[in-house]
């Protein structure tokens, strides 16, 4: 780790069970109860779960049927994304009282670079504590925080004392902290990769650190160098406040599986209406349209077409989506349908502004 990196002070703020906590805040009758946002006991997928539900094993991306089986008293509520975005804006306003170097990852988490900050406070730990206290006082929700010399370690640390806690990993503690962690805790190592590492005898950060870069590149290709660096606490990515939207999409999970393209046509119109609203709101258009089909066996198929021109009008989106729908026969009955636009016109603008630092974000919401 370079001396310059050791001087950086990065905070990762992560709201605690954000969607579920907002619902419990707005409806006191839900406080203290096992709650799932999204899905229902017969269909759909859980978007978020309260900590009371998590004790039973309920997790996001889990089917509503499985969640109800694990927690018979589980209460399902419909997501209210407009409300979540409203709360998220209030929280980000607090962040900007301390620094303009704020990089949102989603509605409920963000990185802050407070190496130099508006409060002239030399302690990132105290800044994180003050931010969490303000969020609770001004918004009514709890947040957790991780503080360290880079984004990678800060993100891991924010999960260490959840909920409503924080952890600081000082420069001289980074390597030791990472060596003792299970590699499943490493941001960027998913379930499949973790299983592969286990098979290779890599269980902790220390095990990973003992592998050469050649070994890791041989087994994990281009990701090998990333794994080699992160187990040593090396992660030089800066906090980047400017984000470029890379795709915009909308999708719908059906209460009953649909078996015919005729029925799916009507759903395409509904989804395209929603997609057009999002495109207009963000003042962007795209050339590549992708149709996503999730079948009753949970297998996913995507079909895409790239046009010679940018589109954002729902009628054009509908025409292309229907063409993709009839591109080939359905493999099975369909439980979810989605439409997204990629290859956006804001990417052309980005290329003409090389000094603009940015990272990508995907605008994708599910609605039942």
Q: Which residue is catalytic, options 109, 251, 265, 368?
A: 109
Name the one residue in this structure whose structure tokens are 């303000």: 134
Beta bridge partners of 63: 45
Burial class (CB within 10 angstroms; exposed 0-12, middle 13-18, buried 19+) of 67: buried
Whether 265 is catalytic is: no
Q: DSSP secondary structure string, 187-234?
A: TT--HHHHHHHHHTT--BHHHHHTS-HHHHHHHHTTHHHHHHHHTTT-
Contact 164, 16 (CB under 8 A): yes
Beta bridge partners of 294: 300, 336
Q: DSSP secondary structure string, 306-356?
A: EEEEEE--HHHHHHHHHHHHTTS--SS-EEEEEEEEEEEHHHHHHHT-TT-
Tell me how far apart the alpha carbons of residues 147 and 133 are, in angstroms, rounded to a whole number: 16
Q: What are phi and psi of 167, to 5 degrees?
A: -140, 135
Tell me how far apart the alpha carbons of residues 122 and 108 are, in angstroms, rounded to a whole number: 26
Tell me how far apart the alpha carbons of residues 60 and 101 are, in angstroms, rounded to a whole number: 29
Contact 357, 243 (CB under 8 A): no
* Active-site amino acid positions: 109
């Amino acid at each position: 780790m370079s001396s310059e990196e050791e001087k950086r002070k990065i905070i990762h703020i992560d709201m605690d069970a954000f969607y579920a906590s907002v619902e419990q805040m707005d409806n006191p009758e839900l406080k203290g109860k096992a709650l799932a946002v999204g899905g229902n006991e017969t269909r759909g997928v859980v978007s978020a779960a309260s900590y009371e539900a998590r004790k039973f094993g309920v997790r996001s991306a889990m089917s509503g049927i499985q969640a109800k089986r694990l927690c018979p008293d589980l209460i399902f509520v419909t997501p209210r994304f407009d409300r979540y975005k409203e709360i998220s804006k209030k929280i980000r306003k607090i962040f900007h009282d301390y620094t303009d170097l704020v990089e949102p990852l989603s509605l409920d988490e963000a990185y802050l670079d407070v190496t130099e900050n508006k409060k002239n406070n030399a302690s990132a730990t105290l800044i994180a504590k003050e931010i969490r206290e303000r969020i609770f006082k001004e918004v009514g929700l709890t947040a957790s925080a991780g503080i360290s010399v880079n984004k990678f370690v800060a993100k891991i640390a924010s999960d260490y004392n959840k909920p409503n806690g924080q952890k600081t990993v000082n420069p001289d503690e980074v390597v030791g902290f990472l060596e003792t962690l299970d590699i499943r805790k490493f941001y960027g190592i998913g379930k499949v990769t973790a299983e592969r590492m286990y098979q290779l005898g890599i269980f902790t950060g220390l095990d990973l650190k003992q592998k050469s870069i050649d070994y890791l590149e041989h087994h994990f290709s281009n990701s090998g160098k990333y794994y080699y660096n992160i187990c040593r606490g090396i992660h030089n990515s800066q906090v980047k406040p400017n984000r470029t939207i890379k795709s915009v999409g909308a999708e719908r999970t059906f209460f009953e599986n649909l078996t015919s393209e005729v029925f799916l046509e009507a759903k395409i119109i509904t989804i395209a209406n929603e997609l057009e609203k999002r495109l207009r709101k963000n003042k962007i258009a795209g050339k590549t349209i992708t149709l996503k089909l999730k079948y009753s066996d949970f297998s996913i198929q995507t079909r895409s077409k790239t046009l010679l021109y940018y589109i954002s009008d729902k009628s054009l989106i509908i025409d292309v989506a229907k063409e993709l729908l009839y591109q080939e026969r359905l493999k099975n009955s369909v439980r979810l349908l989605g439409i997204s636009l990629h290859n956006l016109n804001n990417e052309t603008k980005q290329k003409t502004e090389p000094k603009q630092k940015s990272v990508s974000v995907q605008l994708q919401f599910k609605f039942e």
